[in-house]
Amino acid sequence: LTELGHESSVVGVARMWSPYAATLLVDTVDEALAADVEREGMRCVVAPTVMRTAVDAKALAHLVLTV
């Protein structure tokens, strides 16, 4: 993102994608930036995104399909 002139963070992603998407899923490590993402015009959903097990993957898939 930086090489393209954008901020390399979930806020930078929100700035780029807010014209095209309504919701951004961010990992819990970026939870402190959720309000900043929402100020860019996107709903921010915070969840663990690292899928170490099939149970983790199923939970994340369920969340993505239901938000």
Torsion of CA 39, 29, 64, 62, to 10 degrees: -150
* This model's pTM is above 0.85: yes
Give yes or no for a contact between 15 and 22, defined as CB atoms under 8 angstroms apart: no
Cβ-in-10-Å burial (0-12, 13-18, 19+) of 67 comes to exposed
Q: Tens digits of per-residue pLDDT, 4-63? A: 888 899 999 999 999 999 999 999 999 999 999 999 999 999 999 999 999 999 999 999
